[in-house]
Amino acid sequence: MASNLAAWITEAKSRPLKVDEAVKWKAGPGEVLIKNAAVAAHYTVVPEILVSPIPNDLDFEHATVLPLALSTAAAALYEDKHFDLPMPWVSASDVSNGTILIWGAAGAVGLAAIQLARASGLHVIAVASARNHDFVRSIGAHYTLDYKSKTFSQDVAAAIKETDKFIGIFDAISSPETFSTISDILEGVGPTKVVVLMAPPTTHSENYRVSHSVSFSILKPPYDRVADGLWRKFIPEALERGLIKAKPEPLVVGFGLEKVQDAMDRQKKGVSAQKIVVTL
């Protein structure tokens, strides 16, 4: 590519994926324009406020599962328009600031949310498939629920009602299916804050008190305090002390840009408790 100004995906659903130098700065119908700092490079331009050193015993393949997941979870947990939790600290294990339910707990964002919530003094109820229950407990969840169980809706409602101070639900999947299921469950629970990562449908239960979180909001005031508290003040020491684990495990598809299409195809097939990675 002749320059690093912008690039675009030239064909819809092309096999293999084709990317070429952009000839214009505005995407047309059905086109995707890629601009700003590129990532397919040995040295990537990143705002300093989003950077943390990693310990010598943590390789880059494992470390790469953390940045986007942690920033996404942090925006939902710490911005005052969402859960507005106290920022994480390294000695929070014996503090109890309430209980949060994390939906999609075995995914990268869910696992990041479990660890950050624990570091903010919360108890965690984790929703995941039964085969991942031991895994999410090992990351810090106190209680697990199987979304495939025949009594799942009743189990969620009971778990929420039994908590002394329930903070709300973080929907780390945010699909039409989770929107619908959560809305139905809350009909029998009462008004509950739900933070989602994708815009929810306009029709849902009156008890579904929704807010829409996006990761990049932590870059700008007033929410850059979240990035500062997370990446500058907490993550370096938390990684060094093993309080934050680089999970889920990376599934390395291969080396080089030519493996990006293979990675996308593998992702579309679905993964559980893994993160697709291409090395460069």
Domains in the chain, CATH or no CATH each? 1-36 (no CATH), 60-240 (3.40.50.720)
Q: What is the pLDDT of residue 118?
A: 96
- Nearest Cα to Cα of residue 115 among 244, 228, 250: 244
Please name the residues in contact with 131: beta carbons below 8 A apart, sequence gap of 6 or more.
272
Q: What is the pLDDT of residue 257?
A: 84
Does the CA dihedral 40-113-59-55 come out positive or negative?
Answer: positive
Q: What is the pLDDT of residue 15?
A: 72
- Rounded Cα distance, 101 and 159, in Å: 9
Q: What is the pLDDT of residue 146?
A: 98
Please name the residues in contact with 48: beta carbons below 8 A apart, sequence gap of 6 or more.
none
Provide the whole-model pTM: 0.87
Q: What is the pLDDT of residue 3?
A: 46
Please check whether residue 8 is in contact with residue 27, taking contact to mean a CB–CB distance below 8 angstroms.
yes
- Rounded Cα distance, 187 and 4, in Å: 51
Please check whether residue 124 is in contact with residue 153, taking contact to mean a CB–CB distance below 8 angstroms.
no
A 10 A CB-CB count for 100 gives 27
Q: What is the pLDDT of residue 61?
A: 96
Which tokens is 39 given? 């990532």
Q: What is the pLDDT of residue 2?
A: 40
Helix (H, G, I), strand (E, B) or coil at 99: strand
What is the residue type of 221?
P
Q: Tens place of pLDDT for every residue, the chain, 280 residues?
A: 344 455 566 666 677 666 666 666 666 676 666 665 556 667 778 899 999 999 999 999 999 999 999 999 999 999 999 999 999 999 876 668 899 999 999 999 999 999 999 999 999 999 999 999 999 999 999 999 999 999 999 999 999 999 989 999 999 999 999 999 999 999 999 999 999 999 887 778 899 999 999 999 999 999 999 999 999 999 999 999 999 999 999 999 999 888 989 999 999 998 889 999 999 8
- Rounded Cα distance, 191 and 118, in Å: 24
Q: What is the dihedral of CA 210, 216, 220, 221, to 10 degrees?
A: 20
Q: What is the pLDDT of residue 4?
A: 44
Number of Cα atoms under 13 Å in the Cβ half of residue 80: 5
